[in-house]
Structure 1
Amino acid sequence: MFWDTGRRRRPLRFSVGDRVFLRVSPMKGVMWFGRWGKPSPKYIGPLEILRTVGEVAYELALPPAYSASHPIFHVSILRRYVPIESHVLQYDAVELDDRLTFVEEPATILASDVRRLR
């Protein structure tokens, strides 16, 4: 007998080249990708989909830091990435000298304390 759970959901479908976020903390107390502690992120990405594996699994282009992990993930731990203009970095503000190096110079000193040790 079919029981209606009241959830009306659309099946998630992605195509090759789409960008998605990957959920890295699906359950409390489970560590994925080598990060423990409270400030660990819930999602990483955006990551590009390289190919589909069946109907509900996708292969992702993982960054080199996560290369030890298997690159195929179920659709339930993926979230679609919606591009926002604030996510795009502007490289025009970075000034390079002739040797292509960046030198950071402080604008002002906000505080200077002299402390004596006992």
Structure 2
Amino acid sequence: MRTDILGWLRLQWDRAGAWGCVLAGAVTLFIGWLGVSETAYTAKQLPYIAGCGLGGMALIGVGAMLWLSADLRDEWRKLDRIEQAIRESGAGVLPTAENGATATEQSNGHAGHRGAARPTVAVGRS
């Protein structure tokens, strides 16, 4: 049981971190609310607003970013599996030329420029 939880935490560290940050942010905001509600003086409320309020919101923001990162990672893995399945099935693959560029890349002028920017031509004034 324990190894299952540790294995899940290793695989889903960003989701676990997201929940931890959101929970810590909520607790921090609650502590700040308690501190502000105990006094009517603004000067005594400002440290709670600055420390707990901003800190809690920052923790919730970090948690949201970690969750989004986990979702994006899952989508990239899914796209990689789809691409691998297409390559294995042989469907939709165009024949390649000698230099490794596909026929579509050659017709678009991108042959031999994988990952590189397409060269531009400067046009002078006449």
Do both share a fold (TM > 0.5)? Answer: no
Which structure is higher in helix share? 2
Over alpha carbons, which structure has the higher Rg? 2
- Taking structure 1 as the reference length, the TM-score comes to 0.22
Which structure is higher in strand share? 1
